Structures are given as structure tokens and as C-alpha cells.
């Protein structure tokens, strides 16, 4: 059995028209929504106007000036003026001068210089220490004479340690010592490659004779001296 359709009740007859109308309505609503403008609300305040009627009028009063009281009268002058002599003696304070004269200054400087104990190197001292045998040499040649006598003393007293020879030890020992203000040899220090070589160098320097001390500005001073001693196997 087939259903019968009526042309009057056909629902799809005007569907395209309804679709166009609906689409137009949707587009209109969307356009209105896009074009819709909103404005930010601002709040203003109104200034408070104070009416002039609220001001109180202060009456102007006249100030009465009171004159100041008159100054007191001056005391009466004495009839007789007595002259009193100054009989009190005033003790004068004597301030002694703290300045020193030239003689006192010279004495202080001399005492300080006597107590001063300084070391003057052999290369810059005014009067070098005099090795025994160089007393009659000229002052300008005493430095060279000292060096020659020192080298001669080392060659004369030199002995190569047997232990160092057996071990094949050789090298250079640097010896430092001080010629004291009395001409004696003090503060002997050594620095070398072996203790046996250092002991031999100390023995050689310890056998140096007493010398005439070096002088700076005419006074004996301590004179440090250094010399290398070379130990070489043949």
C-alpha cells in the first residue's frame, strides 16, 4: 500500500526560501554584534562650592597703644672722688724658652750616632777593612789587596773533603760573614750543594786572621762580605 501525497501539504516546497531567510537573519544578527560599540564609563566629581555666606565677618577693633614706662633716674654722682694707690704687687710668671741652642743639638746628634750600629757593605764603605799585610798599601788599592789576600788564604787552607771526593760531589759554596767593629770574623753562613762542602768552607773562613775594621765617617762599623768557594774534582 503506497501513501498518498498532497501537493498542498508538501513541506519541502518552499525549503530553499526558508533557508535564505534564516541565513539572512543570522548574518544580520552577526553584523550587529560586530558593530556594537561599548563606551567606558567615567565618573566625574563635582567640586564643593562653599557659599560666601558661611564666612564669619570679624569686626575690626582698634588697638590702644600703651606708652612704655619712663626709665629710672640715674644714681647721683659722688661728691668726693678718692684716688686709691695700687699697693698690691703682681707676681710675673717667667716662661722659659723650650728652644735648644746649637751646642745642645750637636751633643744630641753625636750621642745618637754613637749608639747607631749599622752594616755597611764592602762595595760602598769609605775605608775598607785592612787585611794583615795591606797596611802599607795606598788607600785606593786596599780593596784589591783585600781580595788578593782573601783568595791566597783560601788556596792555602783549602782541603777537599774525602767523603765528597768518594761520592763525586762538587759545586760552589757561597759564604757570607761579617767583619765586626773589632776586626773579628762573625756570623759565618754557608749555602752549597752538600753539607760536607759547607763545613769545609766554614772551616776556611773561620781561620781568617783579625783585621783592621772598616770605617764609615771615621768610625768603625760592621762590614758584611760574601765570597764563593768552588769545589771541583780533577
For residue range 203-212, list pLDDT tens digits in order.
999 999 999 9
Between 70 and 91, the higher pLDDT residue: 70
Q: What is the mean pLDDT of residues 60-69?
A: 70
φ, ψ for residue 121, nearest 5 deg:
-60, 155
**Strand segments (E) across 35-170:** none
Q: How confident is residue 95, by pLDDT bands cut at 50, 70 and 90?
A: low
Q: How confident is residue 214, by pLDDT bands cut at 50, 70 and 90?
A: very high
Predicted confidence (pLDDT) at residue 56 exceeds the cutoff of 70: no
The full set of domain ranges for the chain reads 139-231
Q: How confident is residue 183, by pLDDT bands cut at 50, 70 and 90?
A: very high
Residue 125 grid coordinates: 764603605
Name the residue among 203, 209, 219, 190 with its Cα closest to residue 146.
209
Q: What is the mean pLDDT of residues 165-180?
A: 92
Predicted confidence (pLDDT) at residue 103 exceeds the cutoff of 50: yes
Residue 41 grid coordinates: 564609563
Q: How confident is residue 18, by pLDDT bands cut at 50, 70 and 90?
A: confident
**Rounded to whole angstroms, how far apart are CA atoms 72 and 192?**
108
Give the per-residue pLDDT at 208.
Answer: 94
What Cα–Cα distance (Å) separates residue 161 from each residue in 64, 113, 151, 231? 126, 46, 19, 9
- Mean pLDDT value across the chain: 78
Predicted confidence (pLDDT) at residue 148 exceeds the cutoff of 70: yes
Q: How confident is residue 17, by pLDDT bands cut at 50, 70 and 90?
A: confident
Between 47 and 72, the higher pLDDT residue: 72
Q: Note the helical H segments in the chain.
A: 15-35, 102-115, 142-157, 162-167, 195-206
**Of all residues in the chain, what percent carry a pLDDT higher than 90?**
41
Give the per-residue pLDDT at 16.
Answer: 81
**Rounded to whole angstroms, how far apart are CA atoms 228 and 191?**
10
**Rounded to whole angstroms, how far apart are CA atoms 201 and 159?**
9
List beta partners, residue 66. Answer: none
- Positive/negative CA dihedral, 153, 157, 161, 165: positive
Cα angle 165, 171, 172; round to 5: 130
User: What does the pLDDT look like over 188-198, one tens digit per residue?
Assistant: 999 999 999 99
Q: Which CATH architecture has domain 139-231?
A: 2-Layer Sandwich (3.30)
Name the residue among 186, 184, 185, 193 with its Cα closest to residue 228.
193
CA atoms within 13 A on the CB side of 130: 13
**Rounded to whole angstroms, how far apart are CA atoms 218 and 50?**
107
Residue 220 grid coordinates: 768603625
Q: How confident is residue 173, by pLDDT bands cut at 50, 70 and 90?
A: very high
Give the per-residue pLDDT at 35.
Answer: 83
Between 181 and 43, the higher pLDDT residue: 181
Q: How confident is residue 160, by pLDDT bands cut at 50, 70 and 90?
A: very high
What Cα–Cα distance (Å) separates residue 204 from each residue in 19, 37, 77, 88? 132, 116, 109, 87
pTM score, whole prediction: 0.50
Amino acid at each position: 500500500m503506497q501513501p498518498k501525497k498532497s501537493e498542498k501539504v508538501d513541506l519541502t516546497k518552499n525549503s530553499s526560501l526558508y533557508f535564505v531567510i534564516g541565513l539572512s537573519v543570522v548574518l544580520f544578527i552577526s553584523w550587529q554584534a560586530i558593530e556594537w560599540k561599548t563606551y567606558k564609563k567615567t565618573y566625574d566629581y563635582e567640586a564643593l562650592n562653599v557659599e560666601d555666606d558661611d564666612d564669619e565677618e570679624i569686626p575690626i577693633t582698634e588697638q590702644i597703644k600703651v606708652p612704655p614706662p619712663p626709665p629710672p633716674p640715674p644714681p647721683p654722682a659722688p661728691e668726693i672722688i678718692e684716688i686709691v694707690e695700687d699697693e698690691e704687687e703682681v707676681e710675673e710668671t717667667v716662661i722659659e724658652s723650650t728652644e735648644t741652642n746649637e751646642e745642645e743639638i750637636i751633643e744630641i746628634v753625636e750621642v745618637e750616632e754613637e749608639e747607631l750600629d749599622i752594616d755597611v757593605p764592602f762595595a760602598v764603605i769609605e775605608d775598607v777593612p785592612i787585611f794583615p799585610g795591606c797596611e802599607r798599601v795606598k788607600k785606593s788599592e786596599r780593596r784589591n789587596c783585600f781580595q788578593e789576600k782573601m783568595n791566597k788564604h783560601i788556596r792555602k787552607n783549602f782541603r777537599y773533603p774525602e767523603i765528597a771526593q768518594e761520592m763525586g760531589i762538587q759545586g760552589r759554596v757561597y759564604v757570607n760573614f761579617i767583619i765586626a767593629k773589632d776586626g773579628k770574623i762573625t756570623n759565618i753562613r754557608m749555602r752549597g750543594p752538600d753539607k760536607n762542602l759547607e763545613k769545609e768552607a766554614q772551616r776556611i773562613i773561620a781561620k781568617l786572621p783579625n783585621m783592621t775594621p772598616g770605617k764609615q765617617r771615621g768610625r768603625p762599623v760592621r762590614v758584611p762580605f760574601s765570597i764563593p768557594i768552588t769545589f771541583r774534582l780533577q
